[in-house]
Structure 1
């Protein structure tokens, strides 16, 4: 039940109403014992396992294509998931990264559907649209409205059987550049180079898993067009693929459709997945690498058996007990008790042939890393020798089964489970075997698996603060490409049209008021036996006073670090025992406590949620521990390009006196965190986390009549403290801005992060439908003007986005553009040019209008498929003052929009001459490029 770090992408986008955070009235700290709180009773894990079932039908076309169909009529959508039996482990020497490169090439269009695949798919209104590559497989997936399924099948089959005529040298060169920028983006993160060292240490030369999926710059540079085409011919035939259709479809409908669109594709060579033994190191490897990081990180790694091994589940359980649970051994001993670490983790990454067992410890600043390492090894050795308890194993099993149930709410989630089982085990029901193993695994089996595999020599890597070792960059372009044979195209029948997509049927919204006046907003969704609850407070990071930045976040951190009846470990154990998840956090506008749980355990889960919200202990020892973690987190933010930008831009846009003029991370500053007292934190809780400032949002498979008594029991007797409720004021004037650049020097950065924008003359409570629709063309879509330019035309970035970030009050427009370092200045100039052109003479075209309206309306059913999506809609409607039927009216309102209305909305709100650009990059490389732009330039250190 630890505070979940908001993803960096979410911090940078500041996409409004998330939720997370809570509190309660605080009592004086008291000693907490197990006897003070009755243990909450959970449903037996066997009962949960019985809830998991995905009926399916399977057939095979004459060309060897395996098709699996799962019927689920809850919404008029179908998930189409295509899995190819090829991944990076199948790449020969000199061709690393080819599987992933082809993932990109297959989005570039095909012979009978030229141009961007994503552009064509956007017109279908998909959700969950993407492709991924990993060691063992490549998959492509999209969830589309049922009337759009035939066109989706045409497009997927065209890139399976009729692709290469569209893969020319220009396409290869472009996507090679995009992939290399994806690699730079990952490498540019703190600790971003560890994976390469880990794989090279654990696996010998020639081992299929020795190289990363992203590949090497040199191999990507050397890829010739004919070599790349041959890679496709050898691996992407229908007999090496699985197609899963999950959702509003049945086998009788699927058979003729699959035969029509895929049946004529010729078989290809059979790809037998590369065999791979589990290697054992001859002796322990102890190594140190340096990176521009704030904390020393200690890692321990072993190669272990793969996901079909009898030891896979026992080793996964071991990893969870050791460092994966919130109540893990490493958390309790190194973080909570000894306080020598600020973060720990342990996990099993299980692949087809092998797995990797990982342990990671971030050393607390000021501690002796070598001594912490010795203590880590002692804890691990003791755990291997004696194993977990039965209760620990049971908590892991419950958490796993609960997570699996919740993941199956989306039809795409079920499609992935079936495809994975078929691909690796030849059995779509393989997930049932895994569930049974989790439900029956014993401590003795876990201990025996650890003793078999974790007593072997370890890879012991320390990542210490310092300058990075040399970084291998891409070679300069300019070599003459080798000629490739011309592809003979094969014509097909015309692409089918899309039928009429029905408008969204949003569930009815109901309301009730608890006896203490707390409002409850509710919707029933009975797809899976899961209940989601958000207790939301009108607070957020904007509630921090200017001299108390970070107080809200630190207060939230402490809520699950002990209540007046349960300590932090008890809270974590109860959560795990129930298979529940309680997350605390905040956005700029709201603070919330979020619960997701299997409905069978709703009553005890609500009891736990209420205890966390209402009764925090704020024990002095825990305050000091969390303070140290928060200060360490601040230091880490200063090494992360996204966090550096997210801290720098808001005060430049809003001014330091505005509640929005502080870091989007909400983490505050060193001086505030150092000075915060227990009284300050109690006051913060009393001011904001209280029933007269709360709304409860619920989505459940139970009717409201059954949920209300349980909410009443948990929260109905909650009373507000006598102190005044907190208030936020946005009276401070927002400063006028003019275009300028603030360069933050981050040496050794292979990429620069361009992060810029301005405050718009609109608020989140305004009607932003036309503005957001216009921005689909300008900044938010894959085919937006700025992404099409910097990624799809120039190949300088892995992805660029400009967004209207809907805060409750005045909203910012923010551009997020990570670009290769040597193109930073040109990229800023290109962004400015694109905005100027769109906002003056070149607005939304008829084709862009059609694509936007179709995409925005046809995607609604998939966009509100799950209880989590419905819950988010209830909360955003409340935040922005929208009516309950807002989502149900989106389709008709969007279809009524014109290009002129979109253009006008954008031109009234967005003014590029007011943009302030923050650039995080290596000043020695970037500064001359930025100076050449002629804009005012300020250079700051990363600190």
Structure 2
């Protein structure tokens, strides 16, 4: 559903979005902070800060913050993605002002006490899935922070953590979304009062774009001794979610592998019993967008998985989906849209994500209408444009020794990968 909303930017650069939810017993707050790992040397401080953010300030220790949160009837959590830090608060409506005061205290006057004295233990070598994903992103788009291996762990000092907090947790470039039944003008005044003194930024912690806008196609095979399954991962061309033609591509992706009766599922699981996990998804972040197929099967089946997936791509590119498949995908997309907004907490998180991308917070309802208007011919055209296997990088990882044929071919360059 579309809700009334207002959007403004404070003098410190913080974007504030207030979404009206009349009668809501809870207020939902979502603070989205750019938090991409752009410098591997900051990895340890980035991880530690995310774990400690919101736990104490110079005026409140950890217990005092917990007591104040309980008094307000609030729940606070922090989630980190490849490009953002999301701080979420659900609070009783009458506790909104107290929550904004607490949030301002934690952001403006952080306290990082009792840091670990020793560096964390060295991570185990990357597993086959992680190694394959890094290889796919590198071969498809070129070297990029998303595909970089983590640096060796090191101890983080108090000075390190405060310095990174000052750089990363800043208002300029961040977005605060408040979904509440309170008067929007009053909410904006409260936000300005408690978060207006917050300073700093922008941090520059945003993902750089990929070196290539479309993935380099080809075939890549990695050997990962000891792997207990065969993996397939692809990268194909796509269009951003705000770009023309995305709705048709979304339906094409669902026909390909987005639900239980998709082409890939029927071919790889039901007909040939090759894979026990099959999916296709549209991936998107600040670096770029791509169409991804991911499958897992028994060891020794990697080449067969790749061949069958390429056949399914080719069939859809050449013949398109049936009208029944397109309509089934449309119904699935409409149902998923409603599910994504099923609760106010989920709705607030989704809307905050839209706001952070710079689009209207009511983008999803408008997108649902766009999906409903996509014709069968438009879905077929999207299949022709985006699902051709010749435009796709098909990569596999297997632990059963050398796969049969095609090992290590990526584009026109023969190379064997060993994860």
TM-score (norm 2): 0.83
Match among 865, 877, 886 for residue 363 of structure 2: 886
The superposition leaves residues 135-173 of structure 1 with CA deviations (integer Å, 9 ceiling, x where unpaired) of xxxxxxxxxxxxxxxxxxxxxxxxxxxxxxxxxxxxxxx
Counterpart pick for 1:669 among 151, 158, 175 = 151
User: Shift in Å at residue 838 of structure 1?
Assistant: 1.4
Match of 2:412 in 1: none
Residue aligning to 1:565: 59
The residue aligned with 1:755 is 233
1:599 is aligned to 2:72:
no
Matches for 1:51-130 after TM superposition, within 5 Å: none
Deviation, 1:911, is 4.6
CA drift of 1:782 comes to 2.1
Is residue 78–residue 87 contact of structure 2 (8 Å, CA) maintained in 1? yes
| 5+ residue gaps, structure 2 | 410-414
What secondary structure is seen at the aligned counterpart in 2 of 1:536?
strand
Whole-Å Cα distance in 2 between the matches of residues 803 and 703 of structure 1? 39
Partner of 1:805: 283
Which fold has the larger relative contact order, with Cα–Cα distance below 8 Å and residues 6 or more apart in sequence? 2
Q: Could you say which residue in structure 1 is the equivalent of 2:35? A: 540
**Alignment partner of 1:829 is 2:307:** yes
How far, CA to CA, are the matches of 2:156 and 2:387 in structure 1?
A: 39
Aligned equivalent of 1:610, options 104, 115, 123: 104
Give the match for residue 405 of structure 2. Answer: 932
User: What is the RMSD computed on CA atoms of the aligned residues?
Assistant: 3.3
Rounded Cα–Cα distance in structure 1 between residues aligned with 2:350 and 2:262: 25
Does the aligned pair in 1 maintain the 2:407–2:416 contact within 8 Å? no
Secondary structure of 1:798's match? strand
SS of the aligned residue for 1:693 comes to coil
Alpha carbons 2:258, 2:280 under 8 Å: kept = yes
> For 1:849, which of 318, 326, 329 is the aligned residue?
326
Structure 2 contact 222–396 (Cα < 8 Å) conserved = yes
| Cα distance in 1 between the residues matched to 2:354 and 2:81 | 15
Alignment of 1:310-459 (within 5 A): none
1:678-689 aligned within 5 A: 678-689=158-169
| Cα distance, 1:897 vs structure 2 | 1.4
Given that 1:754 and 1:919 are in contact with CA atoms closer than 8 Å, whether structure 2 keeps it comes out as: yes
Question: What is the alpha-carbon distance in structure 1 between the residues aligned to residue 338 and residue 23 of structure 2?
Answer: 14
Alignment partner, residue 115 of structure 2: 622
1:850 CA drift (Å): 1.9
SS at match of 2:295: strand
Alignment of 1:225-240 (within 5 A): none
Q: Deviations over 1:744-769 (max 9, x none)?
A: 525262x33333324x3644542422
Q: CA deviation at 1:556?
A: 1.9
Q: Report deviation, 1:807.
A: 1.4
Which stretch has the larger CA shift, 909-918 or 582-591?
A: 909-918
Q: State the 1:684 CA deviation.
A: 3.1
2:265 to 767, 787, 790: 787
State whether residues 220 and 393 of structure 2, in contact with CA within 8 Å, keep that contact through their aligned partners in structure 1: yes
Q: Give the distance between the partners of 2:210 and 2:367, measured in 1 at CA.
A: 34
Q: Which position in structure 2 is the counterpart of 1:652?
A: 139
In 2, Cα distance between the equivalents of 1:556 and 1:580?
19
Residue 715 (str. 1) matches residue 188 (str. 2): no
SS at the partner of 1:535? strand
1:772 aligned to which of 215, 234, 250 = 250
Counterparts of 2:388 and 2:43, CA distance in 1: 30
Residues 846 and 914 (structure 1), Cα distance of their counterparts in 2 relative to 1, 3 Å cut: closer
d(CA) in 2 for partners of 1:795 and 1:859? 27
Partner Cα distance (1:748, 1:692) in 2: 45
How far off is 1:696 after superposition? Answer: 0.6
Cα contact 1:688–1:725 (8 A) shared by 2? yes
Equivalent in the alignment of 2:15: 519
Mapping of residues 576-591 of structure 1, within 5 Å: 578-591=72-85
Larger radius of gyration: 1
Displacement, 1:533?
Answer: 0.9
Cα distance in 2 for residues equivalent to 1:568 and 1:650: 40
Change in Cα spacing, 1:862 to 1:729, as seen in structure 2 (3 Å) is closer
For 1:509, the equivalent position in structure 2 comes to: 5
Q: Tell me how far 1:811 sits from its aligned partner.
A: 1.0
Quote the offset at 1:800 in angstroms. Answer: 0.7
Counterpart of 2:173? 693
In structure 2, the residue matched to 1:638 is 126
Question: Contact 2:25 / 2:93 at 8 angstroms: preserved in 1?
Answer: yes
Say whether the 8 Å CA contact 2:35–2:206 is kept in structure 1: no
- Cα distance change of structure 1 residues 566 and 514 upon mapping to structure 2, 3 Å threshold: same
Structure 1: distance between partners of 2:134 and 2:216: 18
**Structure 1 residues 727 and 891: CA distance shift in structure 2, 3 A:** closer
1:902 corresponds to which residue? 379
* Structure 1 spans left out of the alignment, 5+ residues: 1-504
Shift in alpha-carbon separation, 1:561–1:696, aligned structure 2, 3 A = closer
Shift of 1:525: 2.8
Q: Return the alpha-carbon distance in structure 2 between the equivalents of residues 736 and 849 of structure 1.
A: 26
Deviations 1:100-136 (A, max 9, x none): xxxxxxxxxxxxxxxxxxxxxxxxxxxxxxxxxxxxx
Partners of 1:804 and 1:834 in 2: CA distance: 17
Aligned-pair distance for 1:506? 1.7
* Residues 40 and 151, structure 2, Cα contact 8 Å, conserved in 1: no
Cα displacement (A) at 1:830 = 1.3
Q: Contact 2:234–2:394 at 8 Å: present in 1 too?
A: yes
Structure-2 change in CA distance of 1:906 and 1:887 (3 Å): same
> Compared with structure 1, are the counterparts of its residues 858 and 674 closer, same or farther at alpha carbon in structure 2 (3 Å cutoff)?
closer
Q: 1:912 aligns with which of 375, 389, 393?
A: 389
CA distance in 1 between counterparts of 2:374 and 2:320 reads: 14
Q: How far apart, in 2, do the equivalents of 1:549 and 1:907 lie?
A: 41
Distance 1:599 1:701, change over 3 A: same
* 8 Å contact from structure 1 (residues 544, 551) kept in 2: no
Asked if the contact 1:764/1:880 (under 8 Å) is kept, the reply is no
- Measured in 1, the distance between the counterparts of 2:380 and 2:44 equals 39
Question: Following TM superposition, by how much is the alpha carbon of 1:676 offset from its aligned partner in structure 2, in angstroms?
Answer: 5.5
Is 1:530 aligned to 2:26, yes or no? yes
d(CA) in 2 for partners of 1:792, 1:557? 43
Q: Cα 1:740–1:561, aligned 2, differ >3 Å: closer, same or farther?
A: farther
CA distance in 1, matches of 2:137, 2:158: 29
Contact 1:690 1:720 in 2 (8 A): yes
For residues 532 and 911 of structure 1, the distance between their equivalents in structure 2, rounded to whole angstroms, comes to 43
Structure 1 residues 184-263: aligned runs within 5 Å: none
